[in-house]
């Protein structure tokens, strides 16, 4: 169902955004080791986005 796919994609994009924000804060604090761990989560979430986009439901060309 398209709404489930959109929900999953939004979750993955949100994970990218939130984890990237944490990485930024940690780097500003000088905590590079912990930032690296959160950066791994950013990479995983980006990969999830890529996989979800590969599974995109067909577009309804008649929709506005």
Residues 21-43 have pLDDT tens digits of: 999 999 999 999 999 999 999 99
Parent domain of 38? 12-54
How much is the average pLDDT of 35-59?
Answer: 96
Cα 1 from Cα 30, distance rounded (Å): 44
Q: How many domains does the chain have?
A: 1
Residue 4 lies in a domain: no
Residue 3 lies in a domain: no
Residue 43 lies in a domain: yes
Cα 52 from Cα 63, distance rounded (Å): 21
Handedness of CA 1, 64, 52, 39 (dihedral sign): negative
Q: What's the pLDDT score for residue 47?
A: 99
Residue 36 lies in a domain: yes
Cα–Cα nearest to 38, from 58, 57, 18 = 18
pLDDT at 64 over 60: no
How much is the average pLDDT of 38-60?
Answer: 95
Element (H, E) at 17: helix 2-28
Residue 18 lies in a domain: yes
Residue 50 lies in a domain: yes
Residue 16 lies in a domain: yes
Q: What's the pLDDT score for residue 62?
A: 64
């Amino acid at each position: 169902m398209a709404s489930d796919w959109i929900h999953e994609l939004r979750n993955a994009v949100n994970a990218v955004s939130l984890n990237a924000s944490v990485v930024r804060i940690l780097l500003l604090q000088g905590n590079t080791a912990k930032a690296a761990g959160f950066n791994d989560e950013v990479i995983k979430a980006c990969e999830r986005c890529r996989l979800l986009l590969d599974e995109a439901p067909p577009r309804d060309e008649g929709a506005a």
